[in-house]
């Protein structure tokens, strides 16, 4: 009886998400299969549920054919995955020692440090990326500092390196937190046992601590990789016109070219690419919460 | 377990990386010069300029309204979702609900924005304040659910059952026993939802219309024109506001726990 009542709580949020999260994907898919037209909104058919057959007959893959034919889209796809993948690896390399270090501290310091890692996440993403423009631009703070040290200037703004730097910077809290959650819960006696049995510290870490922390590694990597692959703000502000990423292509097709079907088709391609990681992430989360 | 030199330096270097750019940004909001690399003395001129920027102030007001409304809606819906996920055991649609919630957490914002826009166009509603609010509610609902869910799954259910055994109807037991107990998490969920709404550029750009320019949209159009100390000034104010809020919330929650 009591169970039945709490089940009712699912109705409102379920309907909300079905209407505003799941259903709109159908529209994206549909539009990606429509013709471009110069009107407002700039595409031909509206949905007409009563004539389903005509609707299906009207679908065409012209937009997709266009995307496959144009190298730009393939390049953007490849570089999205390359950039997000590189950033994820760097995040692991930076985030793991941080999470490990924090988990090693005494509890009061630990809480303050977790807080310190999370705090930048609460301040605007846009502003944090904007802060890097002032640092990286040719006449920026980095080059001013390098000049003082007598070193040659570097031109980082509007390069792929700047995009990766910005992604690492913006997503670091999302990497540290899941890693910390796993490392903090780990039983310290396991490492002690390995040490007592004569294992050197690094080996104890590599054979005991690290394998046990793999769920955290997977959670952090997925939590960062998936949104980074579709990121818009970072490549747009730090990447210049050279850096192609799918999120940015969707934005440009939509706002600059007003080609809604193309924007939708790229969105479908991005979503299809991320489907497997998203499903993995869901399984992971379900496991953690059980 | 004493932290080693290695872990201490990893943590401090990481924090320096996280805070360095923010500190520089704040510092240069008080710079008299327009140039980033030249420090020409302390000044509040960019803050004064900000106060006269009508469009910026309008954007702040729009963002605040969207934030409060969408955070409130998503906290209510998220709490309901958390109750269902934690309490109801296995039910039909549970996988679907949980799936949609976790997918929202990682979904690239461009996809969410585009798909919501197509929905608003398909049902032919004018884009503006309400469509952004709906979109932000959808985005933040998932985060609110996760925050409340974490607290709710640690809550001892027997307290609520005791209230029911003493004759309280289930809804009343929930409101008088459970809700006060999970209140800090509900508050945290609201703050998180509000901050995310305050922060969002991409979804707002897709779903907003004329007359409903949010602060990030306004900032973005300014940032595209280059570095401008006025942006540093408003960023500093935002950072100050959010930092104070988050630390206050944290202290409140800590005192409750102690």
Q: Which of B15, B24, B114 sits opposite A28 (nearest CB)?
A: B114
Range of the domain at A160: 70-289
Residues of A in contact with B164 (CB under 8 A): 2
| Secondary structure of residue A154 in the 3-state scheme | coil
Our CA dihedral for A234, A239, A241, A243, rounded to 10 degrees, sits at -100
Residue A86 confidence (pLDDT): 96
Band of the pLDDT at B201, cuts 50, 70, 90?
Answer: very high
Instruction: Quote the pLDDT of residue B132.
Output: 95
Residue A216 in any domain: the answer is: yes
Mean pLDDT of A35-47: 55
What Å distances lie between residue B233 and A114, A119, A135, A201, CA to CA? Answer: 27, 19, 17, 48
From the list B7, B96, B119, the residue facing A104 with the nearest CB is: B7
- B14 and B106: one domain? no
> How many Å from the N-terminal Cα to the C-terminal Cα in chain A?
23
Q: Which of B20, B30, B109, B111 to mutate to test the interface with A (most CBs of A within 10 A)?
A: B111
- Domain co-membership, B56 together with B181: yes
Q: Please check whether residue A176 is in contact with residue A219, taking contact to mean a CB–CB distance below 8 angstroms.
A: no
**Cα A72 to Cα A2, A67, A77, B110, distances in angstroms:** 57, 8, 9, 19
pLDDT at A36: 58
Q: Do A282 and B239 touch (CB under 8 A)?
A: no
A54 within some domain: no
Q: What total of structural domains would you count in chain A? A: 1
Instruction: Say whether pTM exceeds 0.95.
Output: no
Instruction: Say if residues B85 and A235 touch (Cβ distance below 8 Å).
Output: no
Whole-number mean pLDDT of chain A? 83
A4 has pLDDT over 60: no
* Furthest-apart CA atoms within chain A: distance in Å: 76
CB contact under 8 A, A6 and B243: no
| B139 and B51 fall within a common domain | yes
Closest CA to A105 of B15, B16, B1, B10: B1
Scanning the structure block, which residue is given the tokens 């909001």?
B29
User: Which of A27, A172, A227 is the closest to B119 by Cβ?
Assistant: A27
- Judged by CB atoms closer than 8 Å, whether chains meet at A270 and B83 is answered as no
Cα A91 to Cα A176: distance, rounded to the nearest angstrom = 9
ipTM of the complex: 0.85
Does residue A26 fall inside a structural domain? no
Rounded distance, CA B35 to CA B145, Å? 44
Across B95-124, average pLDDT: 90
- pLDDT at position B74 is 96
Residue A2's pLDDT band (cuts 50, 70, 90):
very low
Asked if B5 and B55 sit in the same domain, the reply is no
Check whether residue B65 and residue B28 sit in a common domain: no
Q: Are residues B36 and B163 in the same domain?
A: no
Cβ atoms < 10 Å from Cβ of B41: 8
Identify whether A142 is part of a domain.
yes
Length of chain B as a residue count = 258
Q: Are B18 and B110 in the same domain?
A: no
Domain hosting B18: range is 1-43
Residue A209 lies in a domain: yes
Percent of chain B as helix, strand, coil, to the nearest 5: 80, 0, 20
Question: Does a cis peptide bond (omega within 30 degrees of 0) precede residue A197?
Answer: no
pLDDT tens by residue, A87-132: 999 999 999 999 999 988 888 888 888 888 888 877 778 888 888 8
| Per-residue pLDDT at A259 | 85
**Residues B118-161: tens digit of each pLDDT:** 999 989 888 999 999 999 999 999 999 988 988 888 777 788 88
Q: Are residues B233 and B246 in the same domain?
A: yes
Least confident range from A5-9, A113-117, B103-107, B120-124: namely A5-9
Residues of B in contact with A98 (CB under 8 A): 10-11, 14
Across A36-40, A81-85, A152-156, B250-254, least confident range? A36-40
Considering the domain architecture, whether residues B206 and B237 belong to the same structural domain is answered as yes
Q: Could you tell me the CATH number of the domain that includes residue A192? A: 1.10.3720.10
Domain count, chain B: 2
Query: Is B117 in the same domain as B17?
Result: no
Cα-Cα end-to-end distance for chain B: 24
Shortest distance, CA B25 to any CA of chain A (angstroms): 6
Report the pLDDT value the prediction gives residue A138, as an integer from 0 to 100.
80
Quick check: A39 pLDDT over 70?
A: no
Residues B121 and B147 grouped into a single domain: yes
- Asked whether B173 and B164 are in contact (CB, 8 A), the reply is yes
Is there a single domain that holds both residue B70 and residue B11? no
What is the pLDDT confidence band of residue A1, given thresholds at 50, 70 and 90?
A: very low
């Amino acid at each position: 009886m009591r169970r039945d009542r709490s089940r009712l709580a699912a109705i409102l949020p379920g309907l909300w998400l079905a209407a505003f999260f799941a259903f709109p994907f159908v529209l994206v898919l549909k539009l990606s299969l429509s013709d471009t037209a110069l009107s407002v909104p700039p595409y031909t058919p509206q949905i007409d549920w009563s004539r389903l057959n005509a609707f299906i007959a009207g679908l065409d893959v012209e937009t997709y054919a266009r995307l496959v034919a144009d190298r730009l889209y393939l390049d953007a796809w490849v570089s999205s995955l390359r950039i997000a993948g590189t950033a994820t690896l760097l995040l692991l390399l930076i985030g793991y020692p941080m999470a490990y270090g924090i988990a090693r501290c005494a509890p009061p310091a630990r809480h303050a440090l977790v807080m310190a890692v999370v705090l930048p996440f609460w301040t605007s993403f846009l502003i944090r990326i904007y802060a890097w423009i002032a640092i990286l631009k040719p006449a920026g703070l980095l080059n001013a500092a390098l000049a003082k040290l007598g070193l040659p200037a570097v031109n980082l703004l509007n390069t792929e390196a700047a995009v990766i730097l910005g992604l690492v910077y913006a997503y670091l809290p999302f990497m540290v937190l899941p890693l910390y959650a796993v490392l903090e819960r780990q039983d310290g006696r396991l490492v002690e046992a390995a040490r007592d049995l004569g294992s050197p510290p690094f080996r104890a870490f590599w054979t005991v601590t690290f394998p046990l922390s793999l769920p955290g590694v997977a959670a952090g990597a997925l939590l960062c990789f998936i949104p980074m692959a579709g990121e818009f703000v970072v490549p747009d502000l730090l990447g210049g016109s050279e850096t192609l990423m799918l999120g940015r292509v969707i934005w440009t097709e939509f706002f600059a070219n007003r080609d809604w079907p193309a924007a939708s088709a790229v969105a479908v391609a991005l979503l299809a690419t991320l489907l497997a990681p998203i499903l993995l992430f869901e399984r992971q989360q379900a496991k953690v919460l059980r | 377990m004493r932290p080693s030199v290695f872990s201490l330096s990893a943590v401090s270097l990481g924090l320096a990386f996280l805070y360095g750019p923010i500190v520089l940004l704040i510092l240069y909001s008080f710079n008299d010069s327009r140039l980033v690399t030249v420090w020409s003395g302390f000044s509040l001129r960019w803050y004064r300029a900000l106060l006269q920027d009508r469009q910026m102030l309008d954007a702040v007001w729009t963002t605040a309204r969207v934030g409060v409304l969408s955070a409130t809606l998503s906290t209510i819906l998220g709490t309901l979702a958390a109750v269902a996920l934690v309490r109801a055991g296995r039910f039909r649609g549970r996988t679907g609900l949980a799936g949609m919630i976790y997918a929202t957490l990682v979904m690239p914002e461009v996809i969410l924005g585009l798909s919501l826009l197509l929905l608003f166009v398909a049902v032919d509603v004018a884009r503006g304040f309400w469509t952004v609010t709906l979109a932000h509610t959808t985005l933040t609902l998932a985060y609110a659910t996760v925050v409340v869910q974490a607290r709710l799954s640690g809550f001892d259910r027997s307290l609520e059952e005791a209230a029911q055994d003493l004759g309280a109807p289930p809804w009343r037991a929930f409101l008088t026993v459970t809700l006060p107990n999970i209140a800090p998490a509900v508050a945290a969920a609201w703050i998180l939802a509000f901050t995310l709404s305050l922060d969002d550029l991409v979804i707002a750009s897709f779903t907003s219309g004329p007359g409903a320019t949010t602060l990030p949209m306004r900032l973005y159009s300014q940032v595209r024109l280059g570095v401008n100390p006025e942006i540093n000034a408003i960023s500093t104010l935002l950072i100050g506001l959010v930092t104070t809020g988050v630390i206050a919330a944290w202290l409140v929650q800590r005192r409750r726990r102690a």
